[in-house]
């Protein structure tokens, strides 16, 4: 493994000279200690030290973004410099291990008092990671195959109410949604294996309805059952879904950890739908945590087939520019393949398709709408159809209002959701 | 499980009226959706809605801490109000599941555009969690028993250089450290199962030396082997340590996830030493992520026996006040027991004992020093002795310099490290 490397890119903010700050980062995460110790030979450093590849200053600030910076006595009126720093870590320091990669490229860096901001922006990994971690098992092609949907986005919704729906109401709801022509349903991330609707019974109830509708229509809806839970519980839940004829499992990546997802990838027979709940805690401060570009690579290595990215004009704090970049990130091949299917959601409706398509130019997404489908004034089937029509308009390059003139489902959607 | 609840406390910052902001939080993480949908009955809300228990305004700011807040047209010169908010979640919404607890009490809250800051400060859990998650298996008493150390802190060090030490140098180094009278050694968090020193060989090399010294001296050093890795790899590594006679395994909690730690707790025969690498990413922004008070409770539920807290006057950005609070947090019983042993490290030396003891008043800690022991001018044994002497001075309430008059190991430590 000698000669192979991992390169990590960071955004930093520091009152110290940039060269010194970058050297501290490299030292902390490889061969450094606060007092030189025996055994720390030049040969060892040559083989194992992380190396600063590049430092690109970008801007300065007179106030620190984060508290806790240590200022020396000489630092009167310090300037906080921001820069992009690239650091190269020898792979043979830790091997192609996802957990130990995290300890190395992130590790203690965020706590260093020489920094008032530090964010992991990107990672470049050698093929050893692809050899150890096979990545998304189904990806876009496998998902389309199972869902029977080609040449357009999968149109989906989320079971609402998020929480508390009694088991005896699941069946009729799912039947109605399946009959309405939906391609995809996901559990809410709040609903895993709650006492009021035990997982196994819920799966049976849901799959009975899905199979019945499929028998009649030839179309089998893909339902992402939220198997988020303890490690062994996820395995049991996965098996329950698979044995019941289900075609997708969902997991809250940050609630079970990358290692938990990777373990699931080891045995899954179904696409893994990755929800990123808690993502804001890792990303909302622009000078802390990590960028989605880095995060989604880690998710893909762990084996996620679908990954949530938010949608444009969502109810969340993320900008449309950031959402579009996230969608593009998931579709960028890793190791020559290994794509994840972006999942767009939050305040979505038929009118979301055109700006999304204009921005990212792809149909390889799962497009989820809650109210935008379920609250359509002409019913759920019209809600689903309005979403499909939105994408047809996008692909044809026709304005939404123009396209709606000959499509009443779209007209009604614009009237209710298009304010 | 009806009638049981989880209460979460948050620090929030928002330009919206506090009552409205708190209601949005409760809605997002229980029964809310952006357009009312069928099935969301009053009865369902009554049973499943999260409830705002208290809102305590604390201060205001004219600038937002985090970007991305949505301002309505009426909000000219908005004031960002900070408050402590307590929200109660029905346990039967998710059951006593650690991963699903995270999805509920943290979840999407951090992304809500009505907030310019949101941090989970504390959680109160019903006994159902203790029934499902047995917590630390060894805790303080079990650790002391295995290490044979009573009535004083465990004195430990970290294998340095952090990375790259060849296998043939591990044996002599560990022998020397064991002979010097150390109670505890931990692997560096950067060193898991690296290609240059494969785990199994490393364990055998280390344990051979520890057993040999124990045969001669009667004292068996506790070595925390870093088993951080994929889920199944951790099991293999744990078994290797246990079969080789080892007495502790270490895991980077945030690199394997709480679910990964909890899985380890299910089979461990050894105390679990929890490192919190990447903790800064979750905590360094005061209005994002979570407090250590909440974090360490989650770690204890997952089953961590020892937990890193930093030490006073460390090289990290954390304040001494925060470090002291973290140590106290770990020692605060949960469910009538369930304590974790705090692990103090970073730039520690003999002189760290007095301020630590004055601040937290306990001897139930593992006190780690790297250079502060290994670089002692009179050798490692003198370094170890100086640390013990520091704590003796602390307990006796004698000033360090005064105590050093009759203890040369302490005198030398003060001369070299006490600037």
- Chains A, B: CB pairs < 8 Å: 352
| Whether the predicted pLDDT of A250 surpasses 70 | yes
Q: Do A281 and B162 touch (CB under 8 A)?
A: no
Q: Select from B255, B258, B287, B295 the residue whose CB has the most chain A CBs within 10 Å, as the one to mutate to test that interface.
A: B255
Using an 8 Å CB-CB cutoff, list chain A residues near B193: 95, 97, 100
- Residue A161: pLDDT band with limits 50, 70, 90: confident
C-beta atoms of A255 and B255 within 8 A:
no
Distance from CA of B259 to the nearest CA of A (A): 5
Per-residue three-class SS string for chain B: CCCCEEEEEEEEEECCCHHHHHHHHHHHCCCCCCCCCCCCCHHHHHHHCCEEEEEEEEEEECCCCCCCCCCCCCCCCCCEEEEEEEEEEEHHHCCCCHHHHHHHHCCCHHHECCCCEEEEEEEECCCHHHHHCCCCCCHHHHHHHHHCCCCCCEEEEECCCCCCCCHHHHHHHHHHHHHCCCCEEECCCCCCCCCCCCHHHHHHHHHHHHHHHHHHHCCCCEEEEECCCCHHHHHHHHHHHHHCCCCEEEEEHHHHHHHHHHHHHHHCCCCEEEECCCHHHHHCCCCCCECHHHHHHHHHHHCCCEEECCCCCCCECCCHHHHHHHHHHHHCCECCECCCEEEECCCCCHHHHHHHHHHHCCCCCEEECCHHHHCCCCCHHHHHHHHHHHHHHHHHCCCHHHHHCCCHHHHHHHHHHCC
pLDDT score, position B40: 72
Considering only CB atoms, B195 lies closest to which of A95, A285, A290, namely A95
Candidates A176, A232, A233, A281, partner chain B, best to mutate (most B CBs within 10 A): A281
CB spacing of B97 vs A229 below 8 angstroms: yes
Within 8 A by CB and 6+ apart from A396, the residues are A403
Least confident of A28-32, A133-137, A300-304, B302-306: A28-32
Chain A residue at shortest CA distance from B308: A108
Cis before A362 (ω within 30): no
What values do phi and psi take at A351, rounded to 5? -75, -5
Q: Write out chain B's pLDDT in tens, 419 residues.
A: 778 999 999 999 999 999 999 999 999 998 865 455 666 788 888 899 999 999 999 999 999 999 999 999 999 899 999 999 999 999 999 999 999 999 999 999 999 999 999 999 999 999 999 999 999 999 999 999 999 999 999 999 999 888 889 999 999 999 999 999 999 999 999 999 999 999 999 999 999 999 999 999 999 999 999 999 999 999 999 999 999 999 999 999 999 999 999 999 999 999 999 999 999 999 999 999 999 999 999 999 999 999 999 999 999 999 999 999 999 999 999 999 999 999 999 999 999 999 999 999 999 999 999 999 999 999 999 999 999 999 999 999 999 999 999 999 999 999 999 97
More confident residue, B40 or A357: A357
- Each residue of A46-82: pLDDT tens digit? 899 999 999 999 999 999 999 999 999 999 899 999 9
- Inter-chain touch A94–B252, beta carbons under 8 Å: no
A338 has pLDDT over 60: yes
- Chain A residues touching residue B282 (CB < 8 angstroms): 281-282
Task: Check B194 against A99: CB less than 8 A apart.
Answer: no
Q: Mean of the pLDDT values across residues A388-417?
A: 98
Measured in angstroms, the CA of B145 and the nearest CA of chain A are apart by: 30
Q: Which of A231, A224, A232 is nearest to A273 (CA)?
A: A224
| Chain A closest-CA separation from residue B69 CA (Å) | 6
Minimum CA–CA partner of A102 in chain B: B255
A37 has a pLDDT exceeding 90: no
Contact assignment for B161 to A39 by CB distance below 8 Å: yes
Say how many C-beta atoms besides its own lie within 10 A of residue A102's C-beta. Answer: 24
- Grade residue A36 by pLDDT with cuts at 50, 70 and 90: low
Check CB contact under 8 Å for A164 and B115: no
Q: Which domains does chain B have, with CATH numbers?
A: 5-132 (3.30.70.150), 139-417 (3.20.20.110)
Indicate the residue of A68, A92, A93 with minimum beta-carbon distance to B317.
A68
Contacts of B13 in chain A (CB under 8 A): none
Among B30, B162, B288, beta carbon nearest to A281: B288
Mean per-residue pLDDT, A4-26: 97
Contact B103 A278 (CB under 8 A): yes
Which residues in chain B have their CB less than 8 angstroms from residue A237's CB?
Answer: none
pTM exceeds 0.95 for this model: yes
Q: What is the reported pLDDT for B121?
A: 98
Q: What are the tens digits of pLDDT across the range A275-310? A: 999 999 999 999 999 999 999 999 999 999 999 999
Decide if B160 and A39 are in contact by the 8 Å CB cutoff: yes
Checking ipTM against 0.95, whether it exceeds it is: yes
Preferred mutation among B61, B189, B256 to probe A, highest tally of A CBs within 10 A: B256
- Residues A66, B258: C-beta atoms closer than 8 Å: no
pLDDT of amino acid B41: 82
Residue B372: its chain A contacts at CB < 8 A? 35
Phi then psi for residue B330, to 5 deg, are -60, -30
């Amino acid at each position: 493994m000698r000669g192979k490397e991992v390169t990590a890119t960071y955004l930093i903010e520091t009152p110290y000279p940039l060269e010194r700050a970058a050297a501290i980062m490299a030292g902390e995460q490889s061969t450094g200690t606060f007092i030189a110790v025996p055994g720390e030979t030049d040969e060892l450093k040559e083989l194992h030290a992380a190396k600063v590849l590049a430092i690109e200053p970008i801007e300065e600030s007179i106030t620190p973004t984060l508290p806790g910076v240590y200022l020396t006595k000489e630092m009167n009126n310090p300037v906080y410099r921001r820069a992009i720093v690239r650091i190269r870590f020898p792979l043979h320091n830790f091997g192609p291990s996802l957990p130990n990669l995290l300890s190395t490229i992130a590790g203690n860096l965020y706590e260093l008092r020489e920094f008032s901001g530090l964010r992991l922006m990107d990672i470049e990994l050698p093929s050893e990671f692809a050899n150890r971690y096979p990545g998304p098992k189904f990806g876009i092609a496998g998902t389309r195959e199972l869902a029977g949907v080609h040449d357009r986005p999968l149109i989906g919704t989320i079971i609402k109410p998020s929480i508390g729906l009694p088991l005896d109401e699941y069946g009729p709801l799912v039947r109605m949604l399946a009959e309405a022509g939906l391609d995809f349903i996901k559990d809410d991330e709040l609903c895993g294996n709650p006492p009021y609707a035990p997982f196994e019974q819920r799966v049976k109830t849901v799959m009975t309805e899905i199979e019945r509708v499929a028998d009649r229509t030839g179309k089998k809806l893909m339902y992402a059952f939220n198997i988020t839970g303890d490690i062994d519980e996820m395995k049991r839940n996965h098996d329950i879904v698979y044995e019941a004829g289900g075609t997708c499992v969902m997991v809250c990546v940050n609630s079970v950890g990358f290692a938990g997802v990777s373990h699931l990838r080891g045995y899954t027979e179904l696409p893994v739908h990755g929800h990123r709940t808690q993502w804001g805690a890792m990303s909302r401060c622009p000078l802390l945590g990590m960028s989605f570009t880095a995060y989604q690579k880690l998710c893909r290595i762990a084996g996620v087939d679908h990954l949530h990215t938010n949608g444009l004009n969502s109810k969340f704090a993320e900008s449309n520019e950031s959402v579009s970049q996230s969608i593009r990130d998931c579709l960028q091949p890793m190791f020559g393949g290994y794509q994840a299917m972006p999942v767009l959601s939050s305040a979505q409706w038929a009118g979301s398709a055109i700006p999304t398509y204009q921005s990212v130019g792809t149909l390889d997404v799962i497009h989820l709408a809650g109210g935008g489908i379920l609250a359509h004034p002409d019913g759920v089937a019209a809600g689903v159809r309005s979403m499909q029509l939105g994408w047809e308009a996008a692909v044809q390059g026709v304005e939404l209002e123009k396209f709606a003139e000959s499509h009443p489902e779209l007209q009604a959607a614009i009237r209710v959701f298009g304010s």
